[in-house]
Homo-oligomer: A and B are copies of this chain.
């Protein structure tokens, strides 16, 4: 029986939000495996702001996705066939699977994939979210890039999102006062009532800069920054001298061709340390994943996912990241296991 693989290939580079027509849905037979390869059924795809960057040709940390190429994306899948010594049928793998039903992993690229133990105590969506790259990003940002200390004030932007919600909770575990910035009163209530943030600021409210000032009476020691633009400027203006910024993302820029005029002056005025980072740079993430799984299992960190369905919907689902219409980790379920 020939298995069909649906793939979304980049047709045109989007401007602003992504359109369905920027991608072409192709169907083709799953290729015959060669020795040293395995076939993975994609179960969930991770919808990340960085996907939007990869679609563009602005300077970035990996080559842009080429026109005609399958859209690059992190995902979680199950090995369904193997001619590899490293992967066995039934293995659960996480890594760059792409916007498609099936991915072939070649042993030579196995450093790009993590095989997860099968007896895990957390559900698959959480493995790809709070315990996957989103959680890992939050983890390294606050333990390695800008380690937050007990009693310090941490401000997290996009705090109701996949990375921000975990970053804020890790900040609480480390003993910091944690202030989240999010869009809308519901998200802000959620941060305080459900996730244990000390305060939340709704950047869509008129007086949000005043609220931010009131929520940070001692200034801001650490900023875990996901947004950029006016939100970042407001946070930087609240920082203490010598404050640290873990610069994780700039989602305000990704769909804009007219970039906001950021200004480095405040970095001198406040003697800030601003460090950009990528979770991909960390080679051995086993300890981070183990810690995250432990915190989720024990309930010390609450994981949350917004799950959408259908590979064909990937382009429009991705836009939810920029519209802010989701909470927690945004995932696309491509297939349901029997």
Chain B nearest Cβ from A262, distance in angstroms: 5
A59 x B265 contact (CB < 8 A): yes
A247 x B267 contact (CB < 8 A): yes
CA distance A58 to B268 in the complex (A): 13
Stretch at the interface among A40-48, A119-127, A161-169, A248-256: A248-256
Number of copies of chain A assembled together: 2
- Given A271-B281, A274-B274, residue A228 in contact with residue B59 (CB < 8 A): no
**In the complex, chain B residues whose CB is within 8 Å of the CB of A237:** 59
Chain B, residue nearest A280 (CB): B271
**In the complex, chain B residues whose CB is within 8 Å of the CB of A269:** 59-61, 276
A263 x B262 contact (CB < 8 A): yes
**In the complex, chain B residues whose CB is within 8 Å of the CB of A228:** 264
CA distance A232 to B267 in the complex (A): 14
**In the complex, chain B residues whose CB is within 8 Å of the CB of A241:** 61
Chain B, residue nearest A271 (CB): B276
**In the complex, chain B residues whose CB is within 8 Å of the CB of A273:** 273-276
CA distance A274 to B274 in the complex (A): 5
Tell me, yes or no, whether A217 is within 8 Å of chain B by CB: no
**In the complex, chain B residues whose CB is within 8 Å of the CB of A281:** 271
**In the complex, chain B residues whose CB is within 8 Å of the CB of A268:** 61, 247-250, 276-278
Chain B, residue nearest A242 (CB): B281
CA distance A186 to B13 in the complex (A): 45
* Chain A 270-298 interface mask (CB, 8 Å, partner B; 1/0): 11111111100100000000000000000
* Chain A 5-38 interface mask (CB, 8 Å, partner B; 1/0): 0000000000000000000000000000000000
**In the complex, chain B residues whose CB is within 8 Å of the CB of A60:** 269
Chain B, residue nearest A228 (CB): B264
**In the complex, chain B residues whose CB is within 8 Å of the CB of A324:** none
Tell me, yes or no, whether A266 is within 8 Å of chain B by CB: yes
**In the complex, chain B residues whose CB is within 8 Å of the CB of A265:** 58-59, 250, 253, 259
Tell me, yes or no, whether A184 is within 8 Å of chain B by CB: no
**In the complex, chain B residues whose CB is within 8 Å of the CB of A299:** none
A263 x B253 contact (CB < 8 A): yes
> Which residues of chain A from 215 to 272 have a CB within 8 Å of any chain B CB?
228, 232, 237, 241, 247-250, 253, 259-272
Contact of A278 among B264, B271, B274, B278 (CB under 8 A): B271
B276 x A270 contact (CB < 8 A): yes
> Which residues of chain A from 93 to 131 have a CB within 8 Å of any chain B CB?
none
- Given A268-B278, A273-B274, residue A259 in contact with residue B263 (CB < 8 A): yes
CA distance A181 to B275 in the complex (A): 24
CA distance A269 to B280 in the complex (A): 12
**In the complex, chain B residues whose CB is within 8 Å of the CB of A260:** 261
Q: What are 6 sample pairs from A and B whose C-beta atoms fall under 8 A apart?
A: A60-B269, A247-B264, A248-B268, A270-B276, A273-B275, A273-B276
Closest 5 CB pairs of A and B: A261-B261, A268-B276, A267-B276, A274-B274, A262-B262
Q: List A residues at the B interface (Cβ < 8 Å).
A: 58-61, 228, 232, 237, 241, 247-250, 253, 259-278, 281
If A59-B265, A250-B265, A268-B277 are given as contacts, then 9 extra A-B residue pairs at C-beta distance below 8 Å, sorted by A number, are A59-B237, A59-B266, A61-B268, A249-B268, A261-B261, A264-B274, A266-B276, A269-B276, A272-B275
